[in-house]
Amino acid sequence: MNSKVEISQLIRDNIRDLVPYSSARNEYSGSASIFLDANENPYNNPFNRYPDPGQLELKRHIAGMKGQQVENLFLGNGSDEGIDLLFRVLCEPREDNAVIVDPTYGMYGVCAMINDIKHRRVLLNKDFSLDPGRVISEVDNCTKLIFLCSPNNPTSNSYDREAMIRILDAVNCMVVVDEAYIDFSKEEGMLSLVPEKKNLVVLQTLSKAWGLAGIRLGMVFAHPELITYLSRVKYPYNINSLSLEAAFKQMRIPGKKKEWIDTIHRERDRLVIALDSLAFVEKVYPSDANFLLVRMNNPLEVYSFLKERGIIVRDRSTVPLCEGCLRITVGTPGENRKLCNALIDYGKTPKTDR
Ligand SMILES: *Cc1c(COP(=O)(O)O)cnc(C)c1O
């Protein structure tokens, strides 16, 4: 266990000293029959009322489901809010830095730039595995955050657990493991280590396996002290009533999620076989997520051909280590069939007619 890490010492001074905004619902959150404290319109129930700023009920539910304590959980307007708040709470603009392992999700770098935080980029190995030594060697006294994404977007592989633990134990800063795709993974993930690793932050989301990208609900699991700082800095009512309601509704039928994951796994395996059989496909990378990274000799041409057929995939061909690659999300069986048919047609089209 990394006992060196003192969270309060990693927090920016202005955030440590912050007296947060106290909303009406913060100051009184019990049950009463008449609420005249928040200047709400008394009509148009239930949406006339502000939502619970602490989201206690949903947090209890999610924490219970994940085997975590409520104190370890922060809910954000998507994982993106969690990522942004981590920068704002921990990193002094132009002074502190973050280490980002490339190629990965673009938001870490963008968020760093928006907040005027320097970031250092470490490249994965050619086989997309993580080199913990290289990550650790980029860390200095001003490093506050390291971002690891496992399973990683866009490479679709999970990192070695021991490699991530080596980083956690070697550094004196927060290590964020973004587990947006963990529900599709055969790995158990890092969540169970949150209670014992003080500098571990695990991000999860309802946007992928739960099928709720539209409601914008992300989870941050971390030490209670860090969670408290995130909660003090967030907008008071960051999760709106409609999102809370939709999350509860979906969680009442957890079997749906499992059913979707099973179907997506099955479809992913079928897609791998179909893509592998195409002459112009050079490599389909093994996936631990709900998408495939596919290397081919002519990605832009394939991209345009698919687009003409109304099928949009993600061009990753200019991303370091992903040269020649498209990223393809696993769709419904019907969508995947159409994709495969289009790719077969592409393979049959003489070069001059493409
Ligand atoms: C899709 C994705 C997310 C989800 O972000 P939300 O803001 O929760 O929708 C987070 N991290 C990665 C790496 C992703 O690919």
Rounded distance between C-alpha atoms, residue 292 and residue 318, angstroms: 16
Q: What is the mean pLDDT of residues 135-142?
A: 98
Instruction: Provide the 10 A C-beta neighbour count for residue 115.
Output: 17
Q: Which residue, 189, 191, 199, is CA-closest to 167?
A: 199
What percent of the chain has pLDDT above 90?
93
Q: What is the mean pLDDT of residues 318-327?
A: 97
pLDDT at 2 over 90: no
Query: CA-based Rg of the chain, rounded to a whole angstrom?
Result: 22
Q: Please, what is the angle between helix 107-114 and helix 79-90, to 10°?
A: 40
Both structure tokens of 299: 């990605």
Q: How far is the CA of 163 from the centre of ligand 1 (A)?
A: 22
Which atom, in ligand 1's list, is nearest to the CA of 80?
7
Q: What is the mean pLDDT of the chain?
A: 96
Confidence of residue 25 (pLDDT cuts 50, 70, 90): confident
pLDDT at 1 over 80: no
Which atom, in ligand 1's list, is nearest to the CA of 208?
1
Alpha carbon 19 to chain centroid, angstroms: 29
Q: State pTM to two decimals.
A: 0.96
Torsion of CA 194, 98, 172, 149, to 10 degrees: 30
- Given ligand 1 and candidates 111, 205, 314, which is best to mutate, with the most ligand atoms within 8 Å of its CB? 205
Which atom, in ligand 1's list, is nearest to the CA of 81?
7
pLDDT of residue 3: 58
Q: Which residue, 151, 165, 168, 145, is CA-closest to 226?
A: 145
Q: What is the pLDDT of residues 254-286, one digit of tens each?
A: 999 999 999 999 999 999 999 999 999 999 999
Confidence of residue 11 (pLDDT cuts 50, 70, 90): very high
Which amino acids bring their CB within 6 angstroms of ligand 1?
A: 78-80, 105, 149, 153, 178, 180, 205, 207-208, 213, 218
DSSP at 153: T
Q: What is the pLDDT of residues 81-114, one digit of tens each?
A: 999 999 999 999 999 999 999 999 999 999 999 9
pLDDT of residue 346: 97
DSSP labels, 150-178: SSPTTT-PPPPHHHHHHHHHH-SSEEEEE
